[in-house]
Amino acid sequence: IAGITQAPTSQILAAGRRMTLRCTQDMRHNAMYWYRQDLGLGLRLIHYSNTAGTTGKGEVPDGYSVSRANTDDFPLTLASAVPSQTSVYFCASSRDWRTTDTQYFGPGTRLTVL
Amino acid sequence: GQNIDQPTEMTATEGAIVQINCTYQTSGFNGLFWYQQHAGEAPTFLSYNVLDGLEEKGRFSSFLSRSKGYSYLLLKELQMKDSASYLCAVSAFSGAGSYQLTFGKGTKLSVIP
């Protein structure tokens, strides 16, 4: 079944360490997104990519970076993790950024920064 | 910016009908989504409204009034498996030239026997 995969499923990380969350989709979707979900705050957009080779900042981009070298992969990097980055991270994709298309979500990565 | 409001929690009885409301204020509106999210899982798509009116899909229906900035999700014949969070999300044209979703904080629905 086509879809989105994320790795790792969960991770405990020491503050100050570098971490890359992986996201891969096999639906040939053009647009991809990273969200974080925190209790009481809902889903918030971190970064997005409309097509391979382009990226943009969302609502809460500070402390995070992304790259989009190809259509399928959209990794999220925390250069130096801080405890406030403890969250559940969801990757999502949609067919086309130029219209309102349904976003499909990966299973999430639960990250704890100590 | 966007402002989306929905109730934090609701409780309903198995077999009953429940309505979850969502109000929003936004510029560049281009549609409203409802997602279902079970605890510990990813959000899954339920419905999309871009025009005013009611969209029915089995036990679930969604309504939109663009002039009032209002939507609701109606769940009929509630089942225990409907216990989940329901997320209202507004699509709007961003300054970066694409459509982006802004999510409400979600409504946690508990279905009781």
Flag whether residue B106 sits within 8 Å of chain A, measured between CB atoms: yes
CB contact at 8 A, A105 and A90: yes
- pLDDT tens, position by position, for chain B (113 residues)? 678 999 999 999 999 999 999 999 988 898 999 999 999 999 999 999 999 999 999 999 999 999 999 999 999 999 999 999 999 999 988 766 678 899 999 999 999 99
Dihedral, B25, B29, B34, B39 alpha carbons, nearest 10: -60
Which residue would you say has higher pLDDT here, A1 or B11?
B11
Flag whether residue B38 sits within 8 Å of chain A, measured between CB atoms: no
Q: What are the backbone angles phi and psi of residue B80, rounded to the nearest 5°?
A: -60, -35
Contact residues for B102 (Cβ-Cβ < 8 A; gap 6+): A45, A59, B2, B4, B26, B89, B90, B92
Q: What is the pLDDT of residue B96?
A: 65
CB contact at 8 A, B68 and A24: no
Contact residues for A53 (Cβ-Cβ < 8 A; gap 6+): A68, A69
Length of chain B: 113
Residues in chain A within 8 Å Cβ distance of B30: 100
CB-nearest to A42 from B31, B98, B103 is B103
Task: Find tokens 């279902």 and name the residue.
Answer: B36
Q: How many CB atoms lie within 10 A of CB B113?
A: 6
Q: What is the pLDDT of residue A96?
A: 83
Give the CA diameter of chain A: 40
Residues A43-101: tens digit of each pLDDT: 999 999 999 999 999 999 999 999 999 999 999 999 999 999 999 999 999 998 777 78
- Determine, for residues A104 and B45 on separate chains, whether the beta-carbon distance falls below 8 Å: yes
- Determine, for residues A100 and B50 on separate chains, whether the beta-carbon distance falls below 8 Å: yes
- Determine, for residues A43 and B103 on separate chains, whether the beta-carbon distance falls below 8 Å: yes
- DSSP letter, residue A85: G
- Determine, for residues A90 and B101 on separate chains, whether the beta-carbon distance falls below 8 Å: no
Q: Report how far apart the first and last C-alpha atoms of chain A are (Å, whole number).
A: 36
In whole angstroms, what is the distance from residue B1 CA to residue B94 CA?
Answer: 10
From residue A43, alpha-carbon distances to A7, B2, B60, B104 in Å are 19, 13, 23, 8
Record the tokens describing residue B11, joined without a space: 């409780």
In whole angstroms, what is the distance from residue A93 CA to residue B81 CA?
Answer: 26
- Determine, for residues B45 and A42 on separate chains, whether the beta-carbon distance falls below 8 Å: no
Record the tokens describing residue A68, joined without a space: 């989009």
